Amino acid sequence: MKLSESFFLTRRENPNTEFTEASKLLVKSGLVLRNDNGIYSYLPMAIKVLNNIQKIIREELTKIHSEEVILPTLIRDKYDYESTFDEVFHVIDRNNNSMKLVHTSFEVFTDLVRQKVNSYKDLHFTLYQINNKYRDEKRLEYGLVRKREFLECEGYSFDSDEGGLDVSYDKMFLTFKNIFSRLSLSPMVVRTNDNDAIFSEEFQVISPNGDNKVVKCSNCGYTSNIEDASSKVVISRKEVVNKQRQLVKTDGYKTIKELSKFFNVFESNIIKSVIIKVDDIYKLALLRGNAELNINKLMKIYNTQNIEIPSVNDLEKLGIAVDYIGPVNCAMEIIADNEVKTMNNFICGSNKKNYYYKNVNIGRDFRISRYEDIKLFNENSLCPLCKSKCNILSGIEIGQINKLGNKPSKYYGISYTDEINQKGYAEIGSYYIGVDRCLNAIVENNHDEKGIIWPINIAPYKVAIVVSNMNHDKMCQEAEKLHKKLNSNGIETLYDDRKDSIGVKLNDMDLIGIPIRVTIGNQIDENMAEVKLRNKSEGKTLKIDKIYDYIDELIKEYNNK
């Protein structure tokens, strides 16, 4: 491709609409155009990258005999297996039918599979599609990582028994590993608790711009999504004397930080009291002052999705002294984090404006209905397996695999008759790769201050030829010749034949990240030109007729790695 004939659009300035490094670079380099919050267009060079990513996914899935389909993304809004998901785009058609833009095509897959499965002999098989999905995202600040219309590879395995599901799952796990390795990504595998699954693992690429938080133990290797990480509570056996409880006027100080200064105690010796509404019933949750409430854990404990933190307004209407809430004389059921068990003579709200209690003790001053692990894992939390310190890292989730079991088959009626004529239900595994997220993660992991550095097998073009002076006949002739030879031998090459200055051209090629660059300049009078790799600081000057072989060798070397 000649650049003068291509829709090429780079920007000099960093876009101020993007907040992650990868989004900034992808927009600046003209691979991606932002249309709206969480809505982006892919331009020609990005399509080449996406095609390369999808090619790798398809090749690896074909190796395990997974077959591709394309299913609709606009469907009737009639299913409710995942009724809790509140980020669905709903659409009304001209006949007033409720439709939706799917965030997963699971329902449509089950419709399809029901057509085939009657006998145990109809199982096993695996299907997948690579298609756009839709999600009414709450958090849009992560640019391309959290798009509202996104490209996803979504696959399902169907087996007649649990053993079969285990085999399918393990195969897919290895396939995902191969795909990510070919994409130059080395994600951390993180256990997670998906509500609809028996067993789930996520593939998280560690990156400072990740939208997920993951926990990794520095000692035993325990990993978990922060939402699901539990932590060990160390209970000291020290005898403590319960001091006299006192009501103290706090002069308007009410935040944990302010109270810690006011009372001259650690934040961990103050109780954080949070009113929650569980299935419309108010309850009081207690945490150490330096901990945060994890609503996901509460949802599992109470087995409901209907949990909310009431607004200040709602609480004031109930006559509650909002910043002074506490457990003493509280009529609500009290649930406390396990860590609270270890606290004595602590500070807590008095339910009276401007006053806090000091030297409060559990049992003597109030009772707790239940202790549970309800806090978000934090930097003070200890590994649940070995009690060591853990690191909290940011990650981009690029894939997830789940054993769903046969519960969804019972719901959707995917049943079969076995060898002895008994009814059974298909065991399902579900597998997702975020294609946009992979593109984003590759750029997050492969860039420098000048721009993107594509791995050779993902790059939109493997080679860029830059001519320093487009009025120089010999330079242009040699560039044309090399461009033709590389392309006709399957090495996709971009020829920057614009009449711009050499500085502009070199900057642009660095920005879009083509892995191999050939610069044809004044040395062409001695039949020489420079070859430079994007990830190396120095180039190499070679005879112009040796350049093709040199590049061919470089690519072969890369492919054999």
- Kindly write out the interface string for residues 341-380 of this chain, putting x where it contacts Zn ion by CB under 5 A and - elsewhere: ----------------------------------------
**Contact window for Zn ion (CB under 5 A) among 220-228, 266-274, 466-474, 486-494:** 220-228
Establish if 17 lies at the interface with Zn ion (CB under 5 A): no
Among 32, 217, 307, 482, binds Zn ion (CB under 5 A): 217
**Contact window for Zn ion (CB under 5 A) among 229-237, 342-350, 385-393, 454-462:** 385-393
Establish if 386 lies at the interface with Zn ion (CB under 5 A): yes
Residue 308 token pair = 């909310």
- The b-or-e profile of 502-522 (16+ CB within 10 A means b, else e) is eeebbbbbbbbbbbbbbbbbe
Cβ(505)–Cβ(464) under 8 Å? no
Residue closer to Zn ion by CB (options 25, 383) is 383
CB of 190 to Zn ion, least distance (A): 14
CB of 397 to Zn ion, least distance (A): 22
Element (H, E) at 336: strand 333-337
Establish if 218 lies at the interface with Zn ion (CB under 5 A): no
CB of 189 to Zn ion, least distance (A): 16
CB of 266 to Zn ion, least distance (A): 25
Establish if 286 lies at the interface with Zn ion (CB under 5 A): no
Residue closer to Zn ion by CB (options 86, 379) is 379
Q: What type of residue is 143?
A: G
Establish if 385 lies at the interface with Zn ion (CB under 5 A): yes
Residue 437 token pair = 């997220």
Cβ(412)–Cβ(373) under 8 Å? no
CB of 395 to Zn ion, least distance (A): 18
Closest CA to 229 of 213, 207, 209, 205: 213
Total binding residues toward Zn ion, as defined by CB under 5 A? 8
CB of 380 to Zn ion, least distance (A): 15
Among 220, 315, 321, 332, binds Zn ion (CB under 5 A): 220
Residue 544 phi/psi, 5° resolution?
A: -60, -35
Closest CA to 181 of 68, 65, 64, 60: 60
CB of 386 to Zn ion, least distance (A): 3
**Contact window for Zn ion (CB under 5 A) among 112-120, 229-237, 283-291, 381-389:** 381-389
Residue closer to Zn ion by CB (options 181, 218) is 218
Q: For residues 112 and 187, what is the distance between their CA atoms, to the nearest angstrom?
A: 32
CB of 221 to Zn ion, least distance (A): 7
**Contact window for Zn ion (CB under 5 A) among 136-144, 199-207, 209-217, 274-282:** 209-217
CB of 388 to Zn ion, least distance (A): 5
Q: For residues 462 and 513, what is the distance between their CA atoms, to the nearest angstrom?
A: 9
**Contact window for Zn ion (CB under 5 A) among 87-95, 102-110, 238-246, 386-394:** 386-394
Residue closer to Zn ion by CB (options 384, 455) is 384
Q: For residues 516 and 542, what is the distance between their CA atoms, to the nearest angstrom?
A: 14
Residue closer to Zn ion by CB (options 247, 385) is 385
CB of 201 to Zn ion, least distance (A): 18
Establish if 383 lies at the interface with Zn ion (CB under 5 A): yes
Residue closer to Zn ion by CB (options 223, 273) is 223
Q: Sign of dihedral through CA atoms 48, 49, 54, 60? A: positive
DSSP states of 462-478 as a string?
SEEEEES-TT-HHHHHH
254: Cβ contacts below 8 Å, ≥ 6 apart: 323, 324
Footprint on residues 387-416 left by Zn ion (CB under 5 A)? 388
Residue closer to Zn ion by CB (options 322, 386) is 386
Establish if 102 lies at the interface with Zn ion (CB under 5 A): no
CA atoms in the 13 A half-sphere facing the CB of 470 = 14
Closest CA to 104 of 149, 134, 137, 147: 134
Residue 285 token pair = 């949750």
Cβ(362)–Cβ(343) under 8 Å? yes
Residue 466 token pair = 């830059």
Q: What type of residue is 423?
A: K
Residue 273 phi/psi, 5° resolution?
A: -110, 120
Residue with tokens 């059974």, as numbered in its chain:
424
**Contact window for Zn ion (CB under 5 A) among 28-36, 129-137, 327-335, 382-390:** 382-390
Among 106, 222, 357, 454, binds Zn ion (CB under 5 A): 222
Cβ(514)–Cβ(461) under 8 Å? yes
List interacting residues with Zn ion (CB under 5 A).
217, 219-220, 222, 383, 385-386, 388
